[in-house]
Amino acid sequence: MLRLVIFLTAVVIWVHSSRLMSHASGVSAEDLSIHGFLQTNYDVRLTGQYPPNPQGGDLLFGEERFQLRLGYSKEKVRLFTRTDLFYDHVADRPDIESREAYAEGSVGSSDVRAGRQILIWGVGDYLFINDIFAKDWGAFFSGRPVEYLRVPQNAVKLDVGTTGLSAEIVAIPFFQADKLPSRSRFVQFDPFPGVARAAQEPELRVQNTELAGRLYGTTWGFDTALYLYRGFFRMPALQPNQMTTPTLVTETFPRLEVYGASTRGNALGGVVSVEIGYYNSIADRSGRDSTIPNSSFRYLAGYQRQLWEDFTLGLQYYGEVMMQYDTYRASVPSGFPVQDRHRQLMTLRLTQLFWNQTLRVGLFAFYSHTDQDYYLIPEVRYSISDNLWVAAVGNIFGGRRPTTFLGQLDANDNLAVTVRYEF
């Protein structure tokens, strides 16, 4: 608390001094922007089941957070930072996180942004094919505000716009893996229980720089895009030093290429979206190594429609088709779970607004009939004023097998409550 008070006092002094300096230097107030929020976010475990060496007991997540957003714009130059200071009650320590910190400039019809930034591609709703940028699944599964599903990337981004057609090119020199749920907070499947782990991320080399490109425009009323990515899988591949009695499991991130496309537009009385992508697993094209993900084709079809006033329905159907499946089956060691050739998943989103749209009641549901598992996210959010809102979010998991992506989380049902004041 003392550190928080010192930080907030420093912010007030900085804001006041910045205004004085801007006035003295002739910089107008319109060039500067100061926003942020104060937030409390607590998430309670509902099942009474705990992982080995649990951290936090029934408190799955708990924090007080202060975010400060500072922006400066002058002609064709923009500077922006988004910084979070918070106290994590489960880890019992304060911390600070840079969500964004970049410089942006314009030259003709091109924009260049360099620094820490949030990148979003694709048309999926909580389903990602060509959005290959890192995600924080631990934050998502513990009911934190959805913005924290996105992990900032340290990157350089070039936007080039022309009449009817635009391009976006991203270079990421610093690899960022997906943030998976902590094993000290979530009960989850471990194919190598009790075996020591080590992480081996791609080294900082020029040849390991991730490159991504997007070409997009509007055709016949549909927003259409083509995608290209060359980099690495963001979820770790587990590679034991030996399969029979391993003493060390190394988390590696094999090389990956993704080629894809998406389109979205008005049709059938609502909004229709389609997205496809081919994942080329460069490290194991033949599929003979079961510890490395096989190449796969992925697809997504979505439909969204307002059925009556303030009520919206959203549907999605998603699939992954594994390549070289027979070779993969033959390579899986005895006793290890086997993935399906064609994994399929459906989602449902229901949203109803009440009281002049100040109260939102919603449900998002995942269901896989191939994995036979599900994930339900009921939510109630009430805007007390333009600046203050409170929300309650549930996370309910289930499945027949403890080895599937959602089924392994069956013991982690939780309820999160968030209160945020924005300024």
Total count of residues recorded for the chain = 423
Whole-model pTM over 0.85? yes
Residue reference for tokens 């979206």 = 273
Amino acid present at 113: R
For position 334, what pLDDT does the model report?
87
Q: What is the pLDDT along the chain (423 residues), one digit of tens a residue?
A: 555 555 555 555 555 555 555 555 555 667 899 999 999 999 999 999 999 989 999 999 999 999 999 999 998 999 999 999 999 999 999 999 999 999 999 988 899 999 999 999 999 999 999 999 999 999 999 999 999 999 999 999 999 998 889 999 999 999 999 999 999 999 999 999 999 999 999 999 999 999 999 999 999 999 999 999 999 999 999 999 998 899 999 999 999 999 999 999 999 999 999 999 999 999 999 999 999 999 999 999 999 999 999 999 999 999 999 999 999 999 999 889 999 999 999 999 999 999 999 999 999 999 999 999 999 999 999 999 999 999 999 999 999 999 999 999 999 999 999 999 999
| Contact between 190 and 160 (Cβ < 8 Å) | no
Within a 10 A sphere around the Cβ of 147, how many other Cβ atoms? 10
For position 266, what pLDDT does the model report?
98
For position 162, what pLDDT does the model report?
85
Enter the tokens of residue 284. 């194991």
Please state, in angstroms and rounded to a whole number, the distance separating the CA atoms of residues 132 and 119: 9
114: part of which helix (H) or strand (E)? Answer: strand 110-117
Please state, in angstroms and rounded to a whole number, the distance separating the CA atoms of residues 78 and 367: 43
Within 13 Å of residue 179, how many CA atoms lie on the same side as its CB?
Answer: 15
Residue reference for tokens 């270079």 = 171
Going by the DSSP 8-state scheme, the letter that residue 234 receives in this structure is S
